[in-house]
Structure 1
Amino acid sequence: MNSEVSSAEQPVASTSYITPTKYVLSKSHLAAFQRSQTHRDVITFIDGLNDAVEGKRLTQVREGSERTKPILGILESILEIAKSIPAVDNKLSRFGNPAFKIFYDKVGESSGDLHSRISGLPFEAIPEVEVYFKESWGNKQRVDYGSGMELNFLCWLLCLTKLSVFTEEDYEFLVLGVFWRYIEVMRYLQSTYWLEPAGSHGVWGLDDYHFLPFLWGSGQLKDHKHLRPKAIHDPEILEAFSKDYMYLSCISFINSIKTASLRWHSPMLDDISVVKSWAKVNEGMKKMYKAEVLGKLPVMQHALFGSILPFPTPDQDPELKKALEEEEVAQPDSHGHIHVKGETGWTMDCCGIPVPSAFAAAQDGATSNVGNPNFTGRSGIKPIPFD
């Protein structure tokens, strides 16, 4: 590990914690975020976690440290909350189950106590940090989940790292232990409450909900001596190695609930499979995340900024100040979304058009292999070059 402390790990000097709020309301705000230290910190954190899991298997993950064990306990508590709140009878709808709203409120009520378990977390920082945590599980009003919620979980881990709860020594376990357990809990929530994909495009053609398992999953496989990206089409390889690698596990879950071929329901994953090396896939995933998640207004308009992950003020960013004087800032609609002219593909369908859960379709008999929760993909997304 690098002995120098990265900017993503720099401890927060100020004790003036504030409740995170939304700042990205226009293209100028988005551009300001992309120029900000917070953007650099998020990218640095993602890269550091990616490097930490290179060549590492899920089945070989070491036991977490005393710093990370409480986090696993918190995730188990979230799962127990979900198990205590079963889905209501909602057979007439293949969209989000109303019981999720009860779950969401229960998580909010329990959040303070859950965060009090985290050793080294300043008590006065909890109101700021817990906002990212509570927003990691989905949207209460829309009963949906997408890459923005996954980003909140990443920001929660980043905040805890900046507060010195974690060190770089924990990075491997944060991905293979903590983050992967979060994915497993989210699978339970998605399959139990039939969470809708956030936005009618799902998450950029990878699957309906997640992005980071593919990014870090390709990082795990980066220098594998035998497995190649085309291996995702080999059922025997998936059966043998999906327990070891996040990327292959995600493909297995997609196959477990979706009929037809990967080409039909997950065209971007199918396209990526022809890339010659996992190293190129990994670099492509990083570029794609930066461009299509951190660089897209429909996602980043829901991002939260506080004192730990601050948003630049107009005085700190002269370009932002000048742009805001010339630009009309759009106002959120009843769904909490903003719409900007020229955002191709999103002006009409970024919200307000429900997308039924793939789990609901499976349990309704539309697809097979209902036993496993999983991810799905959508067509019509512009691919990003991986070569």
Structure 2
Amino acid sequence: MDSPAPQARGFPRLELWDPSVPQEFMQPKKEINDGSDLTRFFTTNAYRDIGIFLMQLNRSLCPRKRPDDTVQTFELSRKREDSQSVLSLQALLGRVEALIDDAPPDPGPRRFGNIAFRKWHELLGQQVAVLLTEFLSREIMMFGQDMGECFVKEDTEEAGKHGVVGPFAELESYFIGSFGSAQRLDYGTGHELSFLAFLGCLWKLGFFKDDTRTREGETERSIVLGVFEPYFKVVRRLILTYTLEPAGTHGVWGLDDHFFMPYIFGSAQLTRPITEEEPMPLEGSVPGAPKPADVTKAATVELYREENMYFAAIGFINDVKKGPFWEHSPILFDISGIKDGWGKINKGMLKMFDAEVLGKFPVVQHFRFGKLFSWDVDPNAPAVQHTVHTVQQPVAPKSSAVPGVGTAAPWAKHQAAPPMSGAAALRAQPAPPNPLYSEASIPASTGEIPGPLPRGIPGTASAQHSITKAPWAA
């Protein structure tokens, strides 16, 4: 596999695979069944690649200092010259959203998710092969294969006769997994992670190589603003239409009931400007940016929600929740008090994502591993350190473990393994080496990334043990 040219002074980028090299793809498998598997996850190629791709997308959104001393910012509404690959994914998402009209919500009263969502998910499953074949190129479907005919789901048997397994199974798994659980009638950060993996697969397979613009980060910006934001809009409509439950939520002490990535990307849009050679700023804001405290002002949120992904996410909260902001969203309210700017918030969001999404068993147990996001151990993975972030992970005895144990993902049928309790819960498990903060992304002068801070004042976010305390909390 070949890697592309380094991105501006060696900032890491997700590798591009060489289509001339034969590849053996596979049906993605569930590998994380208990806490020990979670520890192994932190050393895998998949964990490394998720971190690299997220940082790559994140940095692309940071405002840029240009040679003429101007500053370029990247708003949602700004006119872009999206490539055909991005336009194809927008059309794909449009077709996915249109399926809602074919599965209207059931009118019967119920407390939890609307059962018509299962019909919608069934329609998506029935049409996914046709949709992916229509909107992804033949070169993607045949990537790394020496076979004269394109094959997708309908051609699996014929392809198998030739000993061929293409990337369709992996793309399908991550794509279907991006739109919530038909069994649990919920949506959460694990599904959001699946969409990141779907786009990461396409990146590796060279789907976005048709973007011929030479300015650093243009392709990545189009992926976030032109694909991720339309995806969030589709999911928000699904949540509202089918009253989907939050998946794996911390309740009032979670960052958001359903999402995490809009806060990463949205804070990156507002950070202090950098040159193409600089790493992400760790503090400061772009001139003219709204203040973090403005997220508590409904009128200001409405003003910026069409421009910025962070404010768009806050706007959706305001659409579905009533009452004081500090009461229904205390973590976001805490963050709104940050005085060091959006760069500090962006840094903290990345750390929280690593701990609260990638580092939490209830979330990543749903993730599937194939060839593109591999369970294989990364030979360059740093040593795993012990921390509180992986305390209270479930343990499944190997002698009685059943494949698929865990909270049922959209493709699973087994129930969750019980959490540890008592003294067992206090035994710290190894924590992720955190590729989201590599040496390439942090100036040497900043030193070590601080670990978890001590318990704070009762009744505040800093007192919570069930979540990772925000890195800026006192």
Tell me the TM-score normalised to structure 2 length: 0.68
User: Judging changes above 3 Å, is the alpha-carbon distance between structure 1 residues 200 and 62 closer, same or farther for their aligned structure 2 residues?
Assistant: closer
User: Judging changes above 3 Å, is the alpha-carbon distance between structure 1 residues 89 and 178 closer, same or farther for their aligned structure 2 residues?
Assistant: same
Structure 2 match to 1:268 = 331
> 202, 225, 233: which one pairs with 2:287?
225
Structure 1 match to 2:262 = 213
Structure 2 match to 1:103 = 120
What letter matches 2:472 in structure 1? F
1:180-199 to structure 2, matched below 5 A, reads 180-199=229-248
User: Judging changes above 3 Å, is the alpha-carbon distance between structure 1 residues 11 and 169 closer, same or farther for their aligned structure 2 residues?
Assistant: farther
> 70, 87, 94: which one pairs with 2:105?
87
Residues 1:38 and 2:57 are matched in the alignment: no
Question: Would the aligned equivalents of 2:117 and 2:185 in 1 still touch at CA under 8 Å?
Answer: yes
Question: Would the aligned equivalents of 2:45 and 2:378 in 1 still touch at CA under 8 Å?
Answer: no
Q: 1:299 Cα shift?
A: 0.8
Q: 1:292 Cα shift?
A: 0.7
Structure 2 match to 1:136 = 178
User: Judging changes above 3 Å, is the alpha-carbon distance between structure 1 residues 264 and 203 closer, same or farther for their aligned structure 2 residues?
Assistant: closer
* Stretches of structure 1 lacking an aligned partner (at least 5 in a row): 321-325, 346-378
User: Judging changes above 3 Å, is the alpha-carbon distance between structure 1 residues 313 and 76 closer, same or farther for their aligned structure 2 residues?
Assistant: same
Q: 1:41 Cα shift?
A: 1.1
Q: 1:178 Cα shift?
A: 0.4
Question: Would the aligned equivalents of 1:97 and 1:195 in 2 still touch at CA under 8 Å?
Answer: yes
User: Judging changes above 3 Å, is the alpha-carbon distance between structure 1 residues 14 and 219 closer, same or farther for their aligned structure 2 residues?
Assistant: farther
Q: Secondary structure at the match of 1:121?
A: helix
Q: Secondary structure at the match of 1:86?
A: coil
* Separation in structure 1 between the aligned mates of residue 252 and residue 169 of structure 2, nearest angstrom: 29
RMSD of aligned residue pairs (Cα, Å):
2.9
* Worse-superposed segment, 196-205 or 70-79: 196-205
Structure 2 match to 1:278 = 342
Question: Would the aligned equivalents of 1:147 and 1:203 in 2 still touch at CA under 8 Å?
Answer: no
For residues 183-218 of structure 1, give each alpha carbon's deviation from its aligned partner in whole angstroms, at most 9, with x where no partner exists. 000011111111111135259612211100011111
Residues 1:300 and 2:364 are matched in the alignment: yes
Q: Secondary structure at the match of 1:58?
A: coil
* Separation in structure 1 between the aligned mates of residue 83 and residue 226 of structure 2, nearest angstrom: 11
For residues 14-57 of structure 1, give each alpha carbon's deviation from its aligned partner in whole angstroms, at most 9, with x where no partner exists. 52110111101122211111122221111111111111112310
* Separation in structure 2 between the aligned mates of residue 245 and residue 205 of structure 1, nearest angstrom: 21
Question: Would the aligned equivalents of 1:33 and 1:39 in 2 still touch at CA under 8 Å?
Answer: yes
* Separation in structure 2 between the aligned mates of residue 8 and residue 41 of structure 1, nearest angstrom: 6
Structure 1 match to 2:471 = 385
User: Judging changes above 3 Å, is the alpha-carbon distance between structure 1 residues 200 and 220 closer, same or farther for their aligned structure 2 residues?
Assistant: closer
What letter matches 1:26 in structure 2? D
Q: 1:315 Cα shift?
A: 11
Structure 2 match to 1:361 = none
Aligned residues: 348
Q: 1:149 Cα shift?
A: 0.5
* Separation in structure 2 between the aligned mates of residue 203 and residue 115 of structure 1, nearest angstrom: 37
For residues 123-154 of structure 1, give each alpha carbon's deviation from its aligned partner in whole angstroms, at most 9, with x where no partner exists. 42112211100011111111111110110000
Structure 2 match to 1:337 = 416
* Separation in structure 1 between the aligned mates of residue 249 and residue 98 of structure 2, nearest angstrom: 30
User: Judging changes above 3 Å, is the alpha-carbon distance between structure 1 residues 111 and 385 closer, same or farther for their aligned structure 2 residues?
Assistant: same
Residues 1:2 and 2:44 are matched in the alignment: no
* Separation in structure 1 between the aligned mates of residue 369 and residue 128 of structure 2, nearest angstrom: 19
Q: Secondary structure at the match of 1:293?
A: helix
Question: Would the aligned equivalents of 1:203 and 1:209 in 2 still touch at CA under 8 Å?
Answer: no
For residues 267-311 of structure 1, give each alpha carbon's deviation from its aligned partner in whole angstroms, at most 9, with x where no partner exists. 100001111210000000000000110011111111110011110
Question: Would the aligned equivalents of 2:45 and 2:377 in 1 still touch at CA under 8 Å?
Answer: no
Question: Would the aligned equivalents of 2:292 and 2:335 in 1 still touch at CA under 8 Å?
Answer: yes
User: Judging changes above 3 Å, is the alpha-carbon distance between structure 1 residues 169 and 239 closer, same or farther for their aligned structure 2 residues?
Assistant: closer
* Stretches of structure 2 lacking an aligned partner (at least 5 in a row): 1-5, 64-73, 143-165, 210-216, 273-285, 385-394, 407-412, 427-462
Residues 1:328 and 2:345 are matched in the alignment: no
* Separation in structure 2 between the aligned mates of residue 104 and residue 338 of structure 1, nearest angstrom: 26
> 242, 255, 266: which one pairs with 2:318?
255
Q: Secondary structure at the match of 2:358?
A: coil
What letter matches 1:137 in structure 2? F
Question: Would the aligned equivalents of 1:229 and 1:273 in 2 still touch at CA under 8 Å?
Answer: yes
Q: Secondary structure at the match of 2:374?
A: coil
Structure 2 match to 1:163 = 205
What letter matches 1:264 in structure 2? E
- Between structure 1 and structure 2, the one with the greater Rg is 2
Larger fraction in helix: 1
* Separation in structure 1 between the aligned mates of residue 31 and residue 218 of structure 2, nearest angstrom: 33
For residues 48-77 of structure 1, give each alpha carbon's deviation from its aligned partner in whole angstroms, at most 9, with x where no partner exists. 111111231001151320121111111000
Question: Would the aligned equivalents of 2:106 and 2:116 in 1 still touch at CA under 8 Å?
Answer: yes
Structure 2 match to 1:150 = 192
* Separation in structure 2 between the aligned mates of residue 151 and residue 314 of structure 1, nearest angstrom: 20
